[in-house]
Amino acid sequence: MGESDKNQDEIKENPAGPEDKGQARDDDQYEKVCYICRRPESKAGTMISMPGGMNLCHDCMQKAFDTVTKSGMDLSKLPGMPYMNMNLNEMNLNQPGMEIPKKQKIRKKADKQPALSMKDIPAPHQIKARLDEYVIGQEKAKKVVSVAVYNHYKRAFLGGKPEEETVPGTDEEVTIEKSNILMIGPTGSGKTYLVKTLARLLDVPLAIADATSLTEAGYIGDDIESVVSKLLAAADNDVARAEKGIIFIDEIDKIAKKKQTNTRDVSGESVQQELLKLLEGSTVEVPVGSNQKNAMTPMATVNTDNILFICGGAFPDLEEIIKERLTKKSSMGFGAVLRDTFDKDPNLLSYVTNEDLRTFGMIPEFLGRLPMTVTLQGLDRDMMVRILREPKNAITKQYEKLLAMDEVRLVFEDDALDWIAGEAIKRGTGARALRAILEEFMLDIMYEIPKDSNIGSVVVTRPYLEKSGGPLIRMRG
């Protein structure tokens, strides 16, 4: 028996070493991807596995043989690789970078999806109760989101394809359509935070994308399908799980139709038009592990029929449009609507209509695919104080935990919290200003306290915040 035959027998008997067995088990969860054409096994068919983690589909392998045959290449003349007598010890196929990166691998479809039951679906009041622990105020928004997510779970319970989604026990087949949400609120009112909190509380993949980076296909920027790519990555490249996920597109007001521009609007109305197919539901090819399509990136097919889309934006100057519409019909006399009637109305955004959004620059086709519109209120002083004190992960509680690790008790006086809330209102950036103010005043405390191990507690007072005094420090014992 020749040396090459022994090597081949050793490979057959012991194809993977002990250190490779765990990797092999992990790779069994993912589809094999062709090293040349980057198509997954579900599309290209059975793969031919090569050493070094390289897989080739039959089409690419046949093309390679055809190329060799046409060019007349004689493999026996290659140095160190005598044809039909190759020494596998001398062949170094385990080259770095030959294997497809894990982030670009696609998970295999399970033979049987875990069955959902109605008792596994949290009711709207349960979802809202958990949101109440983290989000202060915005009762209407929390209620709308809770109902939308509850119905989204029920769609997942009823089945996969829309034509199979029928209500049990009825004579007629009723297709349940998803209700996408448009979330409108001033900056810092909690739009993104509400969705991020929802992502932590519910076991459903969620991706947050920024509409400001989206451009028309063919221009510099992210393609529309990149929002689905982020969801696929959040679902660990599991297509079936991603197809029942939620996508939050932030800054949606930045793709409004531009007015009085001499340049091509590649990030405005055209992006709204390309988003229509995703919002309504379609099958799209998206790159795996990347935002850009190219020949070296595997592609996956994702159906957006069961994906819930939530779009959010601050919509600056929308209040002026609403105010103009409400006062447009004002007339003279005792029954006339005064022009300053809505100047100080904190709930002015709640009067928004599709007509106002169309005036802002959103096209009617886009608005038609976002049937649920919810507005978030701007934060007042009382809500700011509650945000500082009540949520489970309130900013003050975060600082208290940090100092508790140094065995120091941190206390915020009520007057101090009220001063911080008032200062945040002046900055006009909503709840974001609270952390900025606290970071500024807590810097010296966080720097000085660890110097002295005898300090037992620190009280943040209003004179300290007004720079007319210092924090109240008590020593141990």
Distance CA 378, CA 382 (A): 12
Of 27, 33, 35, 39, give the one whose Cα is nearest residue 299: 39
Burial label for 281, CB within 10 Å (0-12, 13-18, 19+), is: middle
Distance CA 162, CA 176 (A): 8
Distance CA 183, CA 185 (A): 7
pTM exceeds cut of 0.85? no
**What per-residue confidence (pLDDT) applies to 297?**
73
Q: What is the DSSP letter of 259?
A: S
Distance CA 252, CA 267 (A): 11
* Residue range 120-179, pLDDT digits in tens: 678 899 999 999 989 988 898 999 999 988 888 787 666 544 444 445 555 456 777 778
Identify the H or E element spanning 462.
helix 462-465
Dihedral angle at the C-alpha atoms of 236, 239, 240, 241, nearest 10 degrees? 30
* Residue range 226-241, pLDDT digits in tens: 889 889 888 888 888 8
* Residue range 55-84, pLDDT digits in tens: 888 888 878 777 777 766 555 554 444 434
Higher pLDDT, 119 or 213: 213
DSSP, residue by residue, 147-213: HHHHHHHHHHHH-SSGGG---TT-SS--PPPP--EEEE--TTSSHHHHHHHHHHHSSS-EEEEEGGG
Residues whose CB falls within 8 Å of the CB of residue 462, separated by 6 or more in sequence, listed in order: 413, 415, 416, 418, 419
* Residue range 311-368, pLDDT digits in tens: 999 898 888 898 888 877 655 555 555 555 666 666 788 889 999 999 998 999 999 9
**Residue ranges, CATH 1.10.8.60, the chain:** 381-475
Question: Among 97-106, 310-319, 372-381, 450-459, whose mean pLDDT is lowest?
Answer: 97-106
**What per-residue confidence (pLDDT) applies to 100?**
61
**Residue ranges, CATH 3.40.50.300, the chain:** 118-158+177-258+265-375
Contact 255, 214 (CB under 8 A): yes
Confidence category of residue 417, pLDDT binned at 50, 70, 90: very high
Q: Which CATH architecture has domain 118-158+177-258+265-375?
A: 3-Layer(aba) Sandwich (3.40)
If you search the block for the tokens 């521009």, which residue do you land on? 261
Distance CA 242, CA 300 (A): 11
Average pLDDT over residues 376-392: 90
Of 300, 289, 312, give the one whose Cα is nearest residue 370: 312
Average pLDDT over residues 381-388: 92
3-state secondary structure 117-137: CHHHCCCHHHHHHHHHCCCCC
Distance CA 50, CA 45 (A): 16
Burial label for 317, CB within 10 Å (0-12, 13-18, 19+), is: exposed
* Residue range 296-319, pLDDT digits in tens: 677 888 888 888 899 999 898 888
**What per-residue confidence (pLDDT) applies to 477?**
67
* Residue range 32-54, pLDDT digits in tens: 888 777 778 877 778 887 776 77
DSSP, residue by residue, 413-427: -HHHHHHHHHHHHHH
Residue 256 has pLDDT above 60, yes or no: yes
Domain 381-475, CATH among 1.10.1060.10, 1.10.8.60, 1.10.10.10, 3.30.70.260 = 1.10.8.60
